[in-house]
Chain A
Amino acid sequence: MRSDGTTLYIEGSSPLHSHHPFGKLALVLLTGVMVYCAPGGWIPDAAMLALIIILTAASGIFPAVWKFALRTILPLSLFMLPIHGFLNPDNHTPLLTWQSMTLYREGLLFAGMILLQLTTIITASLIFVFTTHPADLLSALKNTGCPPSLAYLFGSPLLMLPAMRTRINTIQSAQRSRGLDSDGNILKRIRALGPLVAPLVLGAFSEIEQRAIALELRGFRSQCKQTSLREVPDSKTQQILRWLMVLTALLLLLYKVVC
């Protein structure tokens, strides 16, 4: 299925794309726990990052993942490296001195470690987001017997966004045609917010009522066991793999608490 601009999903047919959404969620969980709880300093983080690099390259999402991740990590690096390099309280091994300022090894290593952890977590999450269509996640949730309202909670914001965007544009055009000046300095923009937000909120309330009726009429609260049009492939191997990941994450948490 092609992404329609409402999600970050990138169409593909790699094994990662067809992997069960819960498996990829388990990978995100394991990554998050591993980078903070695993012993061995930077080595498990780097190993995990290497695995993620291989997975993104194999599933054809390498450029998209890294473009997205670097957009977050690079600005952070620009702040974190100098701040910790110059000002970290544990600094004691000077690397470089310029006028009265000294860059220290410990601060740089600390910032580097944090950035490595963040990069690993962000890229693991992006693997999930870029290779899992939200509809597959909703179907997977439904198949577990999860209440439809919970699936609705996950799915509806993604689909409401384009409609909301269209409505904002319509209201903005309508108010501008009636003389509202929503450009210019910050004060003008704040003053223009009222006439733009009020119709949006009131319209949303009215639509919520109609949508609730429509959902009710379409059996949303039916007591039947729900079925799903969309098939989410799963296998015994995938199930074992994801339970192993969850178990490893739990063991690492236990290790962190005990040691």
Chain B
Amino acid sequence: MPVIDITNLTFAYPTADKIALDNISLQIRRGEFVGIIGPNNAGKSSLFFALTSVIPHLFQGQMAGHVRILDKETTETSVSETASSIAFVMQNPESQLSGVCFTVREEVAFILENQGVARDEMLRRVENALSITGITDLADRSPSHLSGGQLQKVVLASALVCDAPILVLDEPTTFLDPMGIRQLYDILRQLKDAGKTIVLADQRLEYIAQYTDRIIALHQGKKVLDGPSKEMLISPVLQEIGLGWTRFTQVADLAKSNGLWSEETALGTTLTDTVSGLKRRH
């Protein structure tokens, strides 16, 4: 049974003149790591708002279709209730701070305080989340004095602390440096190995291709691609929707046209990795 089950989802914001999500259907199984790609305004954030029941509870536009999370219809569960099943990391970490916590430790504990978790249990889970995200040394710092990359990790720790089975991340690498991006994806891989279901939107195809099991591409609110990551990377559809012009996808295309492409092994995340990988293979 899928943990996320979307059927014919269509949504339009009240003030917008076009549809944000257009008849989308998809199922995501437990433990899958799914990458959502698409150009700006493709509907990625709207899809995430629908998964977390922000749509239709907080954004009340015209909605049709069904979204079921762990077999519960999102129209029938509040945002707070859905939050115990899905942890959501939004694009801008600064706007996700609670605004009432004076240290990183308190910020991470905020959701647990709201859920009424006992203090000892709260401390254990907070320290664990800080350790997973590698920010234990920031625990006593004020969140308002951290860099964008550090804040992104605080927000990720705040999402992990509630131990929800599904983790949804909307372009979480925006404020991270190259080292931070790799660290984030490594953390996500560990979480996937630990059994979490992860849905992530990102523009960095090289990471998406290497780390995720499956890619779903959105364009103008429609689902235009859905399949195993290694196959999707060389799909001509990526060119059509304006995502195929990265150095990485061009290398993948070139590798395919020269008979060097192997679907068993993804290309590396850097050109050097890719060339060494291809050399090893041939």
Give me the interface of A with B, judged by CB distance under 8 Å. 1, 4, 6, 133-135, 138, 142, 148, 151-152, 155-156, 159-160, 162-163, 207, 210-222, 224-231
Contacts and interface: CB of A to CB of B under 8 A. Distances in A.
Given A6-B144, A217-B54, A207 B79 contact: no
Nearest to A214: B96
A218 B114 contact: yes
B116 A224 contact: yes
A3 to B, nearest CB: 10
A229 B123 contact: yes
6 contacts: A159-B97, A207-B95, A216-B83, A218-B114, A222-B115, A226-B114
A5 to B, nearest CB: 8
A155 B115 contact: no
B7 interface: no
Given A156-B100, A213-B54, A227 B142 contact: no
Given A155-B99, A156-B99, A219-B114, A230 B144 contact: no
A102 to B, nearest CB: 55
B100 A1 contact: no
B11 interface: no
Interface of B is mostly: helix
Interface in B65-124: 79-80, 83-84, 88, 90, 92, 94-103, 105-106, 109-119, 122-123
B80 A214 contact: no
B58 interface: yes
Contacts of B142: 4, 6
Contacts of A4: 102, 142, 144-145
A231 B105 CA distance: 13
A168 B58 CA distance: 29
Nearest to A133: B102
Contacts of B158: 218
B115 A219 contact: yes
Complex A-B, nearest 10 residue pairs according to Cβ-Cβ distance, in ascending order? A219-B114, A224-B116, A210-B95, A155-B100, A214-B96, A229-B109, A4-B142, A156-B99, A218-B111, A135-B102
B116 A226 contact: yes
A152 B101 CA distance: 10
B47 interface: no
A216 B96 CA distance: 10
A219 B111 contact: yes
A212 B99 CA distance: 11
Nearest to B93: A214
Given A1-B103, A159-B102, A222 B112 contact: no
Contacts of A230: 106
A148 B84 CA distance: 19
A4 B54 CA distance: 34
A4 B83 CA distance: 31
Contacts of A216: 54, 58, 79-80, 83
Contacts of B112: 227, 229
A224 B99 contact: no
B114 A159 contact: no
Contact of B98 (A218, A222, A225, A226): A218
Nearest to A153: B100
